[in-house]
Structure 1
Amino acid sequence: MRYILIILLFFICFPAFTQQSAIGSPDSVYSIVQQLQEVTVIAEKRELSPSDIPVALTVINERSIPGENNPDLRNISGIVPNFYMQEGGLKLSTPMYMRGIGTVSGTPPVGLYVDGVPVFDKNAFVFDLYDIQQIEVLRGPQTTLYGRNSINGLININTRQAGNKFALRGKIGVASYVSQNYNLVIDLPLKKLRNKFSFSYNKSRGYFKNKFESERRSNPTESYNGQYQGNIYAGRNWKIGLGANYVHSFDGGYAYYAVDSLKKERYKVNYNTPSSYKRDLLRSYLSVKKSGQHAAFNWMSSYSWSKDKQILDADFTYLDVFDNYKKSKQHLVTQEINLQSAATRYWDWTIGTFGFYKDLENNYLATFGKDKHFLLPMPLDEATYYNSTTTKGIAGYGQIGVKELWPGMVLTAGLRYDYESVHLNYRDSLLLTGSSQFEAYHSSKKDKSFAAWLPKFSFLQKWEKGISLYANVAKGYKAGGYNIIVNEMSSQFVDLGYEEEELWNYEIGLKYFSPRKKFNLTAALFYIDWKDQQIFVMGMMGPSIKNAGDARSFGGELDLQWEIVPRLTYTFSAGYNHAEYYHHLIQAYEGHRIVMSPEFTGHAGLSYQMPLRSLGFENFVASTTVSGFGTQYFDEANLLKQSPYFLWNLDLYFSGKHIDFHIWGKNLLDKAFFTYMLNNPVGEKLPQYYDMGQSGSPARFGASIAFKI
């Protein structure tokens, strides 16, 4: 307890020590106080005030995220209590944790919706947040309204809607490590059709160097993103929306190296095979909304397609042990229809149905070099893998809220039935040393189905002075499925399946919004019981998922915004969770902490705003923020860990009617930390490579200039 209090005091006091040098942006920390009073939140599928939603909720606008010319979801770690998204790795697999619950691989524990369109897979979670209206992050299960992908939380992103007047906004940014960023957004209305076209481009040389390739950079990145959004406002309260988004990205390989070596040289790796990951992603949607006097009708259809190609030095060493070439394609179609009552004094309701079809195909080629004896138990030169998984699902849901049984009371109950079926077609072939042709080894055609009832209950009591108390109970659920690769090479028996997992979340909370919008406070306590956890396992041929055991997580969260005096605003958010196994297939792991989830997250900031009448600018804002993360364990034995660390950020922002200028710095003290660690399979025979890791980002600086017409 003393340790936790010291951490809280550090977050509370540190910004005050740096008040004289604080720097930031006019729409960032300063605007949050007003924003939480005035915004409406649609993550409950209807427009509500944050004080009317009986769950822990954080609302973020684009400039609430310190630093970065083009931020993404990884940058909200710490800002959202008990939310952590790994900053390293590739877009292919970005571990995400909420309240201690998550996974390194497989289906994420947090649902993601962008303008009402679901995003199912983590390879699509990392994209530019350059034209964002707001981000709503709900903690705890949201499966009653959103299904299996939101087992312990939901991120709902709303982009800026197309305007009714011509407008043009652009931004050019530069940053450390030869990074460059460009954005362009055009509103082009044509009578009843409002059009918005947007584009972004990012490129960075990266900061990891590869010893094997004469210090060549090993983690360059490049991406571009084009988007169209259109809205048609027809008569009698009809609104038709349509949109399309195409994203291309290229990244270097995982920057893993021996932990002991990284402690001496933080940004050096030693690969013999150049590694990379390329992703192409297309998303499109059609929405129809009709508002009536008594009810509203909503229709949302979406289609997405993605193609990935990965080249990987899978042993992460200079030795010629194991290389991996992977290609995948995916098609996803979703359809949702719902009806909602108009808001009334005494009750409201929502009913709906949701269905999806997903087709995923993976092709692997694994090649084994002259040093393969450090990994393989058999004489093998190459292996090919083919995996095709087809998943179909359908769900029906309903929710009703009863109000004013006594003044300020709201009682809500919801229920969803979720069903899906999965079909697997898998085969692999081996080219044994000395052989001239591939031989079939594993083959499997399997079917699984999963179904669940997903209830939730909540109670909310509001008072006129801006105070509300709430309690809720909700069930979270994530379906099972099939792994995409076999790790057992010593046997021709294959079992790629894993089962569903579920949890119950119990939560109580307090919300206070001051009448004059000067002070906002939200707090929550939670307890989670997690059954049949799907865990990540690093095997001989690659990662896989298996059901390991049962875990519990309990903790608390706090969000605070306070306008201390006019123009000076203080923000503070913190989350603590204690997540551990109470049952595990490996009994020795019982009582151990859940991997990857920081014991605490925290974010504190101080922002000062002043009017400015110079060089076309109208406002100047200065802010300083500190983000902190508690102890993380990276293996279930709890031997690989990162101790608590804190990152200091600064921002300067000048804004005007037609021009904005932003200067920023992140991790100014160049704090060293590990963002990931793992046990390398080749370490069984080469102990110096058993503990591998990746260093976190160094100090970075950047600036951007934006224009508005």
Structure 2
Amino acid sequence: MRKILLSLFFLGWLLPVNALPVSKNSDTFLETDSAGYRSYRLDEVTVISNPKAYAKLFEFPGSITYLSERNIEELNLRSVKDISTVAPNLFIPDYGSKLISSAYIRGIGSRINSPAVGLNVNNIPYLDKSAFDFDFLEIDRIEILRGPQGTLYGRNTMAGLINIYTKSPFDYQGTKIMLGGGNYSAMGISAFTSRKINGKMAFSLGARYRSNDGYFTNKYNDKSSGDTKVGGAQFQFQWRANKRCKLAVNFDFESSDQKGYPYNFYDKETGKWGDINYNDESSYRRDVITGGVLAQYIHDRFMFSSTTSYQFLDDDLHFDQDFTPLSIFTLRQKQRAHTVTQELVIKATPEKRWQWLAGVFGSYQGQKTDGPVDFRNDGIRLLIADQTNKQLATLKDKFPAMPVMKVDVNNSDLYIDGIYRTPSYGFAAFGQFTANDLFTKGLSVTAGLRLDYEHLEITHHTYATEDLSGHITGTKNIMGNDIELFRIPFVLPLGLEGAESMNTVELLPKFEIKYTFAKSAFIYASAARGYRSGGYNFQMFSNLIQAQIRTDMMKTLMDNMPGMGGNMPSMGGSSEPLSVNDVISYKPEHSWNYEIGGRARMLDNKLTADAALFYIDCRDQQISAVSGYGRVTRNSGRTASYGLEASLQATPVKSVLLTAGYGYTHATFKKYHDGASDYTGNYVPFAPMHTLSVTGAYTLNINRNTSLTFDAQYLGRGKIYWTERNDVSQGFYGLLNAGITLANRNAEIRLWSKNLLDTRYQSFYFETMNAENLAVDNSFMQRGRPLTFGMDVTVKF
């Protein structure tokens, strides 16, 4: 009851800040700083920052959330995962490691493999979501675009797109040093400087480091689970040779080291939480280097831009795959990827009645993944020897005349290595045309189309570093005595090797109509097609090796068992050889998104309101599922999602900033049968039904150069189903955050807290193989972050 009353107290006088207040100039937003109010021209066409868009923020015909530098600071957004808390219908669960960035918009998303939500940083596309989760440093603004963006941005943006822009060295000059600390031994330091070399050239340079202990404790070793260390640097150079030619060079490096993971055992029948209690190492190390060159030429009639990028990713994941004190098996995944992209865009100059855009895009990614699975002594006993003996006992029940057979394995450890090379490349051509004031003033129509081609290969080599060996004993009870009839030794070399490939050609159209019926109000309707790439499941190779063990074991019996002559009864399973491609591959996912909405400014621009309704028809939706020894991606058949987003932004007085945002998503399976169960009519997992953001800030100007700002946010989401069966879920919950900032021209002190009421909630749930009883999976849950608080001190000069 105390938590509810405190929540109502804060909600009674504060609402959220997702955008900035509007001045009497309808195209200018105002932002408070230590010197009072300064204006940002959000409608200014800064082509170097976005080669594909001209639309003023307010006039953008789509569902969008905009976060300014001040929003990012007040909401204490430190990484991409934090954005999820403030944007309607965006869900990025914070669990596991930086490897895992499972982004969902409107019920469409991805837990593993290809992303469904795209990420661009300074217009550089991050094609691999293993690199999505990076720490922020001097971010200027963030845009979250909901709905398919594939016509302009290509595959894997079928649910939406996140654009992140760092500060331009032409817009900010000076040096900032920040020191911070908090509970759980949190500490951070960053330094950033930005300088103009002359009127045509400017650069910025920054570095960052942070660390913290994990929020929870592993009972097995009494150590915190989730300790994190992250460091990085960034560099930006911009050259404006003249009014027509511009060049920007961006570079970012980040290195991270995490210990984990805080997965509690969970009884889904009773809803009771167990301990974090596992014995083998779990950790994640990652290095990411990203660089890009953006060049632009402005002609009187057109603008031409070139964007070239390179990204290098090197990481190493260790996983106690069973998350129990038993030594069952561990998983390691080590990736090394080189990604190169090139895009050329030409478009008409702005403020023309006829707007057009055309471009080409190419990408190449060379990736090598090492994915060994190490079966430890308990795993060999439970998963190989005991399971084989259970199958032999079942055969004995069916065929009583058979002798009693038992398998004994000599190996104390079975290390199955896997090396997978997955080069891919793609090409695309796209165009978009807009007719303004068509037939009548204020009516515009847009049509766009993208032709996208992708080629993906996999060369795989999965093998055991030593042969599986042991013996099979056959006994028979004769006159009360067990007589050994035979002892057959076996030595089984294990391995699979081969290559597969897939080609995808897609057309991604977009249609849009917009009517502006006043200077500060418009409505729109759109239809767009999106798709997400298909791919391969590396973890399925362990299942194929298990099938190989069963087949080779039976062949040994058939060839060597006295009197059988090769006529051994089957132990179960198909006798047909498995198609590797059918087992490991999954198909592309496709969707049509239909949307209507509008936006308006009222009360002398003190109130902005927008709303959007959507319906999504999705075919072959990619669903993450447990299969044998790991988690894989499968195609679900068909899903449907509908809902809305709405927001209000108000500035009743110049010292108060208020915003409220709400999203509703109803996502269900229209057709999905996984071969064992029919999930038709069930809710799609990992799609919160409600998202709510209510935040606000009040600034007290102590004098001309000093201000004191109070801010608070109430952030809610739920109900979230965790499984296709809909048997485990997290109900709606809310988090209360707050902060106080004292600032002047040269320094700033900020006290902040997150989850102020220490609300307990589930951030993630999964099921995995129960080695002791394969009929019932083990369930695990990760608890959301508890109450955290700290202080940041920033010095500017």
Normalised by the shorter chain, which TM-score bucket? Answer: over 0.9
Rg larger for: 2
The amino acid that maps onto 1:397 is: F
Report what 1:423 is aligned to.
Answer: 457
C-alpha separation in 2, matches of 1:511 and 1:683: 55
Report the CA distance shift for 1:703/1:375 in structure 2 as closer, same or farther (over 3 A). farther
Q: Which shifted more, 470-479 or 43-52?
A: 43-52
Report the CA distance shift for 1:317/1:16 in structure 2 as closer, same or farther (over 3 A). closer
Superposed counterparts of 1:217-616, under 5 Å:
217-260=224-267, 268-372=275-379, 373-376=381-384, 377=387, 381-405=414-438, 406-430=440-464, 431-434=466-469, 439-485=493-539, 486=541, 487-492=543-548, 493=578, 494-495=580-581, 496-514=584-602, 516-586=604-674, 588-613=678-703
The amino acid that maps onto 2:529 is: K
The amino acid that maps onto 2:461 is: R
Q: Tell me the SS of whatever aligns to 1:565.
A: coil
Q: Tell me the SS of whatever aligns to 1:64.
A: helix
Q: Tell me the SS of whatever aligns to 2:319.
A: strand
C-alpha separation in 2, matches of 1:29 and 1:581: 32
Superposed counterparts of 1:613-624, under 5 Å:
613=703, 618-624=706-712
Report what 1:202 is aligned to.
Answer: 210
Structure 2 unmatched runs, 5+ = 31-40, 389-408, 471-489, 549-577
Superposed counterparts of 1:689-708, under 5 Å:
690-708=778-796
Contact 2:15 2:659 in 1 (8 A): no
Contact 2:75 2:713 in 1 (8 A): no
Give per-residue Cα distances to partners, 1:151-193, cap 9 Å, x unaligned: 1101111110113775111211112201011111111332333
Contact 1:15 1:606 in 2 (8 A): no
C-alpha separation in 2, matches of 1:580 and 1:283: 38
Q: Tell me the SS of whatever aligns to 1:301.
A: strand
Contact 2:61 2:598 in 1 (8 A): no
> What is the deviation of 1:438?
8.5
Report the CA distance shift for 1:29/1:83 in structure 2 as closer, same or farther (over 3 A). closer
Give per-residue Cα distances to partners, 1:84-133, cap 9 Å, x unaligned: 00111111122110001111111111111111100011111111222111
Q: Tell me the SS of whatever aligns to 2:152.
A: helix
Give per-residue Cα distances to partners, 1:313-354, cap 9 Å, x unaligned: 111111111112221100000000010100234111110000
The amino acid that maps onto 1:597 is: A
Q: Tell me the SS of whatever aligns to 2:314.
A: strand
C-alpha separation in 1, matches of 2:768 and 2:494: 27
C-alpha separation in 1, matches of 2:22 and 2:734: 24
Report the CA distance shift for 1:631/1:510 in structure 2 as closer, same or farther (over 3 A). same
> What is the deviation of 1:440?
4.2
Q: Tell me the SS of whatever aligns to 2:168.
A: coil
Report the CA distance shift for 1:497/1:404 in structure 2 as closer, same or farther (over 3 A). same
The amino acid that maps onto 1:189 is: K
The amino acid that maps onto 1:518 is: K
C-alpha separation in 1, matches of 2:74 and 2:343: 37
The amino acid that maps onto 2:545 is: M
Count of paired positions? 690
Report the CA distance shift for 1:515/1:414 in structure 2 as closer, same or farther (over 3 A). farther
TM-score (norm 1): 0.92
> What is the deviation of 1:539?
2.6
Give per-residue Cα distances to partners, 1:456-477, cap 9 Å, x unaligned: 0001111334111000000011
C-alpha separation in 1, matches of 2:733 and 2:723: 19
C-alpha separation in 2, matches of 1:23 and 1:413: 38
C-alpha separation in 1, matches of 2:9 and 2:467: 62
Give per-residue Cα distances to partners, 1:376-418, cap 9 Å, x unaligned: 5466722111110010100000001000121111110000000
Report what 1:632 is aligned to.
Answer: 720
> What is the deviation of 1:73?
1.4
The amino acid that maps onto 2:742 is: F
The amino acid that maps onto 2:605 is: K
Contact 2:21 2:606 in 1 (8 A): no
Report the CA distance shift for 1:236/1:646 in structure 2 as closer, same or farther (over 3 A). closer
> What is the deviation of 1:228?
0.8
Q: Which shifted more, 415-424 or 431-440?
A: 431-440
Q: Tell me the SS of whatever aligns to 1:589.
A: coil
C-alpha separation in 1, matches of 2:492 and 2:334: 19
Report the CA distance shift for 1:165/1:598 in structure 2 as closer, same or farther (over 3 A). closer
Report what 2:132 is aligned to.
Answer: 125
Report the CA distance shift for 1:546/1:410 in structure 2 as closer, same or farther (over 3 A). same
Q: Tell me the SS of whatever aligns to 1:123.
A: helix
Q: Which shifted more, 569-578 or 425-434?
A: 425-434
Q: Tell me the SS of whatever aligns to 1:609.
A: strand
C-alpha separation in 2, matches of 1:470 and 1:684: 57
Report what 1:39 is aligned to.
Answer: 42
For the aligned residue pairs, the C-alpha RMSD in angstroms reads 2.5
The amino acid that maps onto 2:339 is: L
The amino acid that maps onto 2:161 is: L
> What is the deviation of 1:257?
2.3
C-alpha separation in 2, matches of 1:664 and 1:517: 31
Q: Tell me the SS of whatever aligns to 1:248.
A: strand
Report the CA distance shift for 1:627/1:236 in structure 2 as closer, same or farther (over 3 A). closer
Give per-residue Cα distances to partners, 1:591-612, cap 9 Å, x unaligned: 1111111111111123212101
Report what 1:660 is aligned to.
Answer: 748
The amino acid that maps onto 2:94 is: E
The amino acid that maps onto 2:702 is: L
Report the CA distance shift for 1:592/1:164 in structure 2 as closer, same or farther (over 3 A). closer
> What is the deviation of 1:30?
7.8
C-alpha separation in 1, matches of 2:123 and 2:117: 15
Report the CA distance shift for 1:429/1:169 in structure 2 as closer, same or farther (over 3 A). same
Q: Tell me the SS of whatever aligns to 1:258.
A: strand
Q: Tell me the SS of whatever aligns to 1:52.
A: coil
The amino acid that maps onto 1:355 is: G
Contact 2:420 2:459 in 1 (8 A): yes
> What is the deviation of 1:517?
3.0
> What is the deviation of 1:36?
5.9
C-alpha separation in 2, matches of 1:334 and 1:592: 39
C-alpha separation in 2, matches of 1:299 and 1:517: 37
Contact 1:465 1:515 in 2 (8 A): no
Report what 1:6 is aligned to.
Answer: none
The amino acid that maps onto 2:432 is: Q
Contact 2:74 2:711 in 1 (8 A): no
Contact 1:472 1:506 in 2 (8 A): yes
The amino acid that maps onto 2:414 is: D
> What is the deviation of 1:65?
4.1
> What is the deviation of 1:236?
4.9
C-alpha separation in 2, matches of 1:540 and 1:237: 59
C-alpha separation in 2, matches of 1:347 and 1:195: 36
Contact 1:57 1:138 in 2 (8 A): yes
Q: Tell me the SS of whatever aligns to 1:509.
A: strand
Identity %: 29
> What is the deviation of 1:66?
6.9
Structure 1 unmatched runs, 5+ = 1-9
> What is the deviation of 1:370?
2.2
Contact 1:85 1:95 in 2 (8 A): yes
Report what 2:395 is aligned to.
Answer: none
Contact 1:385 1:429 in 2 (8 A): yes
